[in-house]
Homo-oligomer: A and B are copies of this chain.
Amino acid sequence: MYRTHNCGELTISDIGKRVTLCGWVQKNRTLGGMSFIDLRDRYGITQLAFNMDTNEALCSQARTIQREYVIQATGQVIERSSKNSKIPTGAIEIEVEELKVLNKSAVPPFTIEDETDGGDELRMRYRYLDLRRKPLMQNMLLRHQLAMATRNYLSDGGFIEVETPFLIKSTPEGARDFVVPSRMHKGEFYALPQSPQTFKQLLMVAGFDKYFQIARCFRDEDLRADRQPEFSQIDCEMSFVEQEDIFNTFEGLVKQLFKKIKGISLPDFSRMTYNDAMKYYGCDKPDTRFGMPLVEIQHMVHGKGFKVFDEAELVAGICVRGAAHYSRKQLDALTDFVKRPQVGAKGLVYVKFNEDDTFKSSVDKFFDEVSLRSWADAFDAQAGDLMLILAGAKTSTRSALSALRLEMAAQLNLIDKNVFKPLWVTDFPLLEWDEDTQRYYAMHHPFTAPKTQDLQLLYSKPEEVRANAYDLVINGIEIGGGSIRIFNREVQSKMFEVLGFIEEEAHKQFGFLMNAFEYGAPPHGGIALGLDRLCAVFGGTDSIRDYIAFPKNNAGKDTMIDAPASLTQEQLKEIGIDIK
């Protein structure tokens, strides 16, 4: 062992001990005849002291040591004259007697500090140095704690962890697969799993009863800021359960994680149907840390000659408390905001309910005070509030209002970062219509069970059939989702029919699962929670990349190891493929 202690554990009670520490040089400074080195490791920082008067050679040596050198120092723990109360080791220092440079370091391309001067690209390239910084190191520790606590909760609850295979079969349904050419079977390919979905259902058929896995999943999609080609999910499945059992189990999990890791006791989770979420929040993952629900007023606004409203499928808005003072400039900026392509509205109507009980709106030409006051009633607006109204097609208007609602909450600082509001969104539609291909797709996946009471709508009004499918949302972030699965052969056949699969095609794609279902499939259901996103929620930042040790950049590249890269001709020949 190179050391007797780590750099985070020595305190006032260790004074007098002779210790050996190892670590990286965080800082090296000279104060008159003294030199001090801040020695850093994963556990903390301990100050090393050198004195020109008592040991000139050693102190001179210490002065040559640069940042990020790896050193080993032996000496006595002594009390510091000027204590640092910000760190646990701040009351002591080491009076060094022996010093050894274990390894030198070149000057790092950016500073290894909580706030660094390195840009994104540079830090990705030198990820091993970026990970030395405390915020990233803490993120990885958080991830470790979350994973351990999750596994122990599930294992204690009777779940078995089963590792499912990575080299599986490509299924054209859903997102794109990454594929792996087979050398032994030239011209054939494995695919990397987008999720262990079919395997976990097979495990239920096999009688495993309760399964879990923290599983790596792969999707070859064009990347966005919060997407990675490989990501991890807490993947679970249970037999002989209904939706309520899944909720109980995983609400319990999330509560325990918050308790263990953040010391927060969460109350029972709220629930909201998908329809309500869309109606009142404009999206299926509402942030319920603040109110400001969407209010629909199209029934109150027609026939006054305002074409925008008259022609709109939906006229709806939000009431922003105490924002009647917003200036023309601020309102123009909001109009610009909603007109951004990402938000997509055509314009913004505002109605100020002034403190003096008067109204001022951008549609004064069309609507008199009586009208505006009736809107205020609908919005539950008070004097001093600002109503912001959008109009247009239902789906896009809701989506734009959802973005506007979040923007207003941010502008008015309505979101408390220390508050956590988990929410079950339930009763998702079973199917969604795709205009491009003119067919229905399973919203969740083709094995999601429709609600029994909606089954009779499957042929007549497929879009109205609700599924036993649910998402878990925390603070407006979709943490995961799941469903009760179809385990009945006849319902499955109907489902494939509605999805436009012919029996043969269904068999080609899902044959092994359908075969398995012939041999006694139990009722079952499950859920998958995104570990990366869960980490981000716990860590209080937005980017999942900050919680992945070695992420890819937005082009799917790992610039540190330079992957992907070209292969040798010999390698290509061996797997029997040509590059086009």
Contact = CB atoms under 8 A, between A and B. Distances in A.
A471 B42 CA distance: 28
A556 B182 contact: yes
A189 interface: yes
B180 A180 contact: yes
Interface string A1-35: 11100100000000000000011100000000000
B70 A169 contact: no
B42 A166 contact: no
Contact of A242 (B2, B103, B169): B2
A480 B282 CA distance: 55
Contact of A185 (B160, B177, B557): B557
A203 interface: yes
Given A105-B518, A166-B192, A580-B576, A172 B558 contact: no
Interface stretch (A146-154, A435-443, A458-466): A146-154
A504 B24 CA distance: 29
A157 to B, nearest CB: 12
A218 B166 contact: yes
A27 to B, nearest CB: 14
A189 B565 contact: yes
A132 B206 contact: yes
A340 interface: no
Given A132-B207, A560-B512, A176 B169 contact: no
A208 interface: yes
B69 A520 contact: yes
Contacts of A557: 185
A148 B140 contact: no
Given A155-B148, A220-B183, A169 B512 contact: no
Contacts of A523: 2, 102-103
Interface string A537-549: 0000000000011
Interface string A228-253: 01101000000111101100000000
A144 interface: yes
Contact of A550 (B1, B165, B179, B548): B165
Contacts of A242: 1-2
A184 B232 contact: no
A521 B574 contact: no
Contacts of A520: 24, 68-70, 103-105
Interface string A156-184: 00001111111111101000111111111
A331 interface: no
Interface-central residue, A68, A207, A208, A573, by most chain B CB under 10 Å: A207
Copies in the complex: 2
B203 A170 contact: no
A190 interface: yes
A176 B574 contact: yes
Contacts of A568: 172
Contacts of A189: 564-567
B2 A241 contact: yes
A41 interface: yes
A2 B240 contact: yes
A188 interface: yes
A496 interface: no
B132 A148 contact: no
A416 interface: no
A128 to B, nearest CB: 4
Contacts of A24: 207, 520
Contact of A577 (B106, B144, B205, B578): B578
A555 interface: yes
A16 B111 CA distance: 71
A487 interface: yes
Nearest to A183: B220
Contacts of A556: 182, 184-185
Interface in A181-223: 181-192, 198-199, 202-203, 205-209, 216, 218, 220, 222
A488 B103 contact: yes
A165 B43 CA distance: 25
Given A169-B562, A172-B568, A1 B245 contact: yes
A131 B43 contact: no
Contacts of A203: 128, 131, 549
A419 interface: no
A522 B206 contact: no
A190 B132 CA distance: 26
23 contacts: A1-B241, A40-B207, A42-B207, A70-B521, A102-B487, A102-B523, A103-B522, A106-B518, A127-B206, A140-B160, A140-B162, A144-B161, A144-B162, A164-B550, A167-B178, A167-B230, A167-B552, A168-B558, A178-B180, A179-B180, A180-B180, A185-B556, A187-B579
Shortest Cβ-Cβ A-B pairs, 6 listed: A105-B520, A131-B206, A188-B564, A169-B563, A2-B240, A182-B564
Given A163-B216, A180-B564, 10 more contacts: A1-B242, A42-B207, A137-B206, A137-B207, A144-B161, A167-B178, A169-B562, A184-B222, A199-B550, A577-B577
